[in-house]
Structure 1
Amino acid sequence: MPRPTSRWIAERASVGTSTVRRPDRTTWIVLGRAGADVAVVFLDAEDVELGRRTVGADSWATWAAEIEAGEAVRWVWNDTPRWYAELLAAGTRLARCHDLRLCHAILRDSALVRADADLRVHTDWDATPHADPPAAAPTLFELGAAPDAATGLPEFLDDAVREFARQRTAIDGSTDPGRLRLLTAAESAGALVAVELRAAGLPWDPQAHDRILRGVLGPRPAAGGTPMKLEDAGRRVRAALGDPSANLDSQPKLLRSLHRAGVLVESTSRWELAQYRHPVIEPLLEYKKLSRLLSANGWAWLDEWVHDGRFRPVYVPGGVVTGRWASSGGGALQLPRQLRGAVHADPGWCLVIADVAQLEPRVLAAMSGDRALADAARGKDLYAGIVDTGAVATRAEAKIAMLGAMYGATTGDSGRLVPRLRRTFPRAMALVDDAAREGENGGVVSTWLGRSCPAPSAGWHAAQSLASAVEASGGDETRARRWARDRGRFTRNFVVQGTAAEWALAWMADLRGRLAALDAVPDSDAAPRSGAVFSTRPHLAFFLHDEVVVHAPRERAEAAALAVREAAASAARLLFGDFPIDFPLDLRIAESAQDD
């Protein structure tokens, strides 16, 4: 059967068609709510409207699946979690979308977009993401607008169409449309992945989790009680302080107790405490570690977040200013390694676990075109490669120097070692140094694909102006310099971390498609707890900045692993063309995510 054309899709609109100008290109389907039903506008590749219609809530998922199975389409909506979660629950997977909210945020702030772009004034699209679609309050363009007299469809649908047009106009008129098209496509693909990760869930063994907690903390206490080993660590801390009533869970009170004992720290951070030699340090560090595990991932977390053998966190794409993901529920991005033994594949299935070695330094080499750094990274551990150049003596020094260069450390070992990198890798170091200088001067920097950092605040500018005034005090000048340096460190890292996030989005988007193309297994070999869409085929189950976990039937595990590797190579080509940089993966296939 031949693939249907845009005219075929327009006929499904049932409200009439316009002249179809390029039927071989993607059809855009703009969605909105009409009460419980779905309102639809069809657009061709040149924004010519093909038709409109409404789809009943009871047939929406089936109708979307029929459209998806036909011609290549891209779904346009205001907020991916609110639309896509219900489709996945009904067994309908979509290939592509354009998330108007996420893309508006990128284009509004991008330095590549013209300053007078029309979308910048439409602040009604500056909406926040919604973590849990079923429980969320009504959102943008879902507030029951009156129907249009001519079409009978809600007026907000035209608002969505206009915003989509504003975004495409902003991209077309930008200084680099290709990069922004790629960035908005990757961001929208990431939004689909985030919903799918929650729908499929990460296979989790609650019994294994409980065994880990019991081994580390002791038996589970009664409600409101303190685990035995945490209680013991607390007693040893108070004994070392000579203060039986010391409050160990209040930082101000704990600091006062430490000061009375002669430990003159300014904070209770691990690195600062470790600089002191005192009997309280060892038990206090143990107490803090146990307390953190209990509060962040203890039995209460297990009861709340793990159900039916799945951990289903809430991911927030673009939740960090650099474009990195955040989590608004479940703490998926802060899971301690000691709990990885609880991540366990279903019977007959495996986990394909892959993380990228030294992602950010490799991205820096590619962005800057520094072939010397790329050569040091090729086919081996990048830090060992830096040692081989003679820039530093040990791998530990190489890591300290590179992290110092990317994060702006100027003291200690970093301050001593970074100048050596400047001599050996001048292009890479110049890129981050220039980004820092731009930030210190109040400028804006952008990632490889065009995500820009926020401009300095009015308070920042006021502090810089005050420092240059005749009546400025020494304190004013010191504050201005400190704020300038802080912003420089931020912009220095922004360009690298943000571009690494873009590479990761490209990796996941490509991998998502490759996994969907793999053959399914029979229902008898299914993993039903992964949901209707993912129960019979390999699928993404977890993501953490530079790591993915794929849940795959055992007989598809090798094919899934190959897809992971090929997607990484494809992401490198997509972003950096033929520049000779590789992104090697530490990849293994196992039943458990427990570290070897």
Structure 2
Amino acid sequence: MHILLDRVAPGRVSAVRIAERPGAVEGVSVAERTELADAELPEFVRREEAASHPRWVWDDTRGWYPRLLGAGVRVERCVDLRLSHAILRASTLTAGSRLATAPPGPWDAARVLDDTAEPPADAATLFDLDHAVEVAPPSGEAELAAQQEAVAASAAPARLRLLLAAESAGALIAAEMQHAGLPYSVERHDELLRAVLGPRPRFGRPEALETLAAEIRAALEAPDLNPDSPPELLKALQRAGLMVTSTRSWELRELDHPAIPAVLRYKKLSRLHSANGWSWLDAWVRDGRFRPDYIPGGVVTGRWATRGGGALQLPKEVRGAVVADPGWKLVVADAAQLEPRILTGLAGDTAMAQAGRGRDLYAGIVATGAVEERAQAKVAMLGAMYGATTGDSGRLMPRLARAFPRAVRLVEDAARTGERGDIVTSRLGRSSPRPGGSWLAVQSAASGSDSTPAEERRAVSQARDWGRFTRNFVVQASAAEWALCWMAELRNRLARLTPDGAELTAGPHLVYFLHDEVIVHTPAELAETVAAEVRASAEAAGRLLFGGFPVDFPVTAAIVDSYGEAK
């Protein structure tokens, strides 16, 4: 049973019961329609959850679920129509559907984001950051019918249904994590900052940064230098005789000069102070909780983004401030070598699956004789997935290809597809965007009869850049799908450990997610059980994506009092 919630008037909600009709393509079947006042909705949802566990259908989980959570109401399942629309609109599996071929409409409207993981140049995020608008969507009934039609007629209905269910479950999890919050100690955060930065200044730089600034000025003989200004710092470095073209840390590490250690230390501490210093603490931590605003599907690969707070970039220096409540524990879990293992499953590479069976994958690659050292195995795998062609990666790639031809062939084929300007698709059905107009213009100019060598070189370079994007897209997007299935399965298992009718935070609950890592806040007596459920959920996610193919997804689960103790 689906129950669709639609806003019909200010303060009024329509609840439409929709009968299940698997495979139907001619629209939804309305069984009953009820109109409610906003104030009546939480109790209505509570009753229906207890009676029939329906799948709730709404335009945007972010607009409905936080209010229900605030009233102490949890839901088991939902369909997030906006997230699902974005997937079906772009997927190669539904390319011929009416939904995919329709002109842009309200369901394609954008939302404001920030803190997104950066895709390659020209690779759009799911939402347009510069021209974000909020448009009230039309009735959800028509959209649900269009989505069901598109899935039923697609090239892989089962995979798409799993993807849409996982994406919608992710939206529920994001709202629940914001509601529960990450347990956070203001006092501990202040202690950690003082240990590396010195006392909190009333204004200006902290003591440690002032000391380092003085060292840098002295070493570069630049008494008026502002080390926070990249142009000033670059000029001072060049005046000191250093052949440097930027102030990026990776370039500075190659230099031999007395000022460089202080510059690198300054950059690191300055970043900590600006991104997660005392001002961040004042803005983002309330009542012992950090509540970031997660945006599921915020990046084209399906990875999450956040709106402010930098939750996806919480530095090691302050992780010790993430502290469990008295009588509770944190279960910090992360999946080992997730993307290489996803590649193994995507390619059906039995040799690579065997190399990672029950052990560290990189050590297993060494054991095959493909490379001599674990570090080489890691460099070679990263080169395969990200398209590195020079240095150690370029030298080791042929050896990796001989040992694991199916895995390497899959990413190479994805790269060639991107270089042609075509689309690649993840395991469950999320597809990459096409390159933008500027990319196409460059390729067109280079193919003309009067093209210049410079235009041709630029076209080749851009094509290779896009090929590196599609090479990684197919792996990263599939890894994001695995992570969603992992979290969705874990969420269900944690719910069974919570007393019936109890609020979200009464039992073990998810409080943090970062690509291949989760944190569960749990009563101490359930910590070992939760750790076992975390591992079992990873195994279940692997089966959902790859069936019986023997690829392992090992997860480490540390039971700690503080996030800082886990690594």
Look up the match of 2:109.
127
1:577 paired to 2:547: yes
Counterpart in the other structure of 2:272: 293
Question: Match for residue 562 of structure 1?
Answer: 532
Local SS of the residue matching 1:59: helix
Is the contact between residue 318 and residue 325 of structure 1 (CA under 8 Å) also seen in structure 2?
yes
> Whole-Å Cα distance in 2 between the matches of residues 519 and 449 of structure 1?
31
Q: 1:177 aligns with which of 145, 157, 161?
A: 157
CA apart distance, 1:169: 0.9
Q: Alpha carbons of 1:122 and 1:71: their partners in 2 closer, same or farther (altered >3 Å)?
A: farther
* Residue aligning to 1:534: 504
- The CA deviation string for residues 3-52 of structure 1, in whole angstroms up to 9 with x for no partner, is xxxxxxxxxxxxxxxxxxxxxxx333243252122222221113211122
Moved more, 469-478 or 209-218: 469-478
Identity between Structure 1 and Structure 2 (%): 55
User: Partner of 2:372 in structure 1?
Assistant: 393
Provide the rounded CA distance (Å) in 2 between the counterparts of 1:535 and 1:479: 55
Matches within 5 A, 1:538-549: 538-549=508-519
Tell me the number of residue pairs that the alignment of Structure 1 and Structure 2 aligns.
Answer: 542
The reply to whether residue 55 of structure 1 matches residue 36 of structure 2 is: yes
1:247, distance to aligned residue in structure 2 (A): 2.6
Please name the residue that 2:18 is paired with. 43
Would you say the 8 A contact 2:190–2:278 is kept in 1?
yes
Amino acid at match of 1:59: E
Give yes or no for contact 2:111–2:134 (8 Å, CA) kept in 1: no
Task: Report the Cα offset of residue 575 of structure 1.
Answer: 0.6
Does structure 2 retain, via aligned residues, the 8 Å contact 1:82–1:130?
no
Matches within 5 A, 1:489-528: 489-520=468-499
Residue by residue over 1:413-461, the C-alpha shift from the partner in whole angstroms, topping out at 9 and shown as x without a partner, is: 1111111100000000000000001001111101101100001112211
Counterpart pick for 1:318 among 297, 314, 333: 297
My pick for the range that moved more, 435-444 or 119-128, is 119-128
Cα deviation, 1:192-228, whole Å, max 9, x if unaligned, reads: 0000010001111111110000001001100x32100
- The answer for unaligned runs of 5 or more in structure 1 is 1-25, 143-155, 523-531
**3-state secondary structure, aligned to 1:42:** strand
Following superposition, the deviation at residue 263 of structure 1 comes to 2.4
Alignment match, 1:344: 323
Shift of 1:139: 4.4
Distance 2:112 2:503 in 1: 23
Q: Partners in 2 of 1:108 and 1:118 — Cα distance?
A: 6
Matched residue type, 1:277: D
Compare 113-122 and 310-319 and name the one that shifted more: 113-122
Offset of residue 387 of structure 1: 0.8
Residue 53 (structure 2) aligned to one of 66, 72, 75: 72
Relative to the length of structure 2, the TM-score reads 0.93
Q: Which moved more, 1:40-49 or 1:323-332?
A: 40-49
Question: 2:236 & 2:521 partners in 1: Cα distance?
Answer: 48
Give 1:196's match in structure 2, choosing from 171, 176, 180: 176
Structure 2 CA distance for aligned equivalents of residues 116 and 236 of structure 1: 64
Are the equivalent residues in 2 in contact too, given 1:201–1:312 (CA < 8 A)?
yes
Partner residue in 2 for 1:476:
455
The letter for the 2-side match of 1:229 is A
Q: Distance in 2 between matches of 1:265 and 1:55?
A: 66
Matched, 1:249 2:228: yes
The reply to whether residue 403 of structure 1 matches residue 398 of structure 2 is no
Task: Please name the residue that 1:99 is paired with.
Answer: 80
Residue 70 of structure 1: SS of its match in structure 2?
Answer: helix
Unaligned 5+ runs, structure 2:
22-27, 115-131
Q: C-alpha deviations, 1:106-156, integer Å up to 9, x for none?
A: 111111113352354242111234679xxxx994437xxxxxxxxxxxxx4
Aligned partners of 2:414 and 2:471 also within 8 Å? yes
Q: How far apart are 1:536 and its partner, in Å?
A: 1.5
Tell whether the 8 Å contact from 1:384 to 1:395 is kept in structure 2 after alignment. yes
Q: Does 1:214 align with 2:194?
A: yes
| 8 Å contact from structure 2 (residues 97, 150) kept in 1 | no
**Corresponding letter in the other structure for 1:367:** L
Aligned to 2:120: none
CA contact (8 A) 2:89 2:95 kept: no
Evaluate the alpha carbon distance shift between residue 67 and residue 382 of structure 1 in structure 2; reply closer, same or farther with a 3 A threshold: same
Looking at structure 2, the residues matched to 558 and 311 of structure 1 have their Cα atoms a distance apart, in angstroms, of: 25
CA shift digits 1:300-356 (9 cap, x unpaired): 001111111111011110111100011112111000012111111000001111100
CA distance in 2, matches of 1:125, 1:521: 36
Aligned to 1:16: none
Structure 2 counterpart of 1:367: 346
8 Å contact from structure 2 (residues 57, 81) kept in 1 = yes
Is 1:432 matched up with 2:411? yes
User: 2:136 corresponds to which residue?
Assistant: 141
Q: How far apart are 1:254 and its partner, in Å?
A: 2.3
- Cα distance, 1:546 vs structure 2: 0.4
| Larger mean Cα displacement after TM superposition, 249-258 or 330-339 | 249-258
Tell me how far apart the structure 2 counterparts of residues 250 and 131 of structure 1 sit (CA, whole Å): 27
In the TM superposition, residue 250 of structure 1 has moved relative to its aligned partner by 2.5
User: Residue 352 of structure 1 contacts residue 587 of structure 1 at CA under 8 Å; is this kept in 2?
Assistant: yes
Would the aligned equivalents of 1:270 and 1:285 in 2 still touch at CA under 8 Å? yes
Question: 2:439 matched to 1:444?
Answer: no
- Distance in 1, matches of 2:564 and 2:173, equals 24
Deviation larger for 81-90 or 121-130: 121-130
Please provide the CA RMSD for this pair.
1.8
Aligned residue type for 1:118? L
The letter of the residue matching 1:184 is L
2:4: which partner in 1? Answer: 29
Corresponding residue SS for 1:112? helix
Relative distance call for 1:397 and 1:430 in structure 2 (3 A) is same
> Counterparts of 1:466 and 1:443 in 2: how far apart (Å)?
18
TM-score by length of 1: 0.88
Aligned residue identity for 2:555: L
Contact 2:113 2:298 in 1 (8 A): no
Deviations 1:530-564 (A, max 9, x none): xx722320000110100010000011112211211
Asked if 2 retains the 8 angstrom alpha-carbon contact of 1:351 and 1:552, the reply is: yes
- Counterpart of 1:179, as a letter, is R
Q: Distance in 2 between matches of 1:118 and 1:319?
A: 21
Output the CA distance in 2 between the equivalents of 1:127 and 1:66.
33
Change in CA separation of 1:584 and 1:118 when aligned onto 2, cut-off 3 Å: closer
Q: 32-41 or 541-550, which moves further after superposition?
A: 32-41
Residues 251-290 of structure 1 aligned to structure 2 (within 5 Å): 251-290=230-269
Aligned partners of 1:267 and 1:492: how far apart in 2?
A: 29
- Hey, what does 1:593 align to over in structure 2? 563
- For 1:131 and 1:466, the matched residues in 2 are separated by 34
The one-letter code of the counterpart of 2:541 is: A
Instruction: State the secondary structure of the residue aligned to 1:174.
Output: coil
Corresponding residue for residue 6 of structure 1 = none
SS in 2 for 1:38: strand
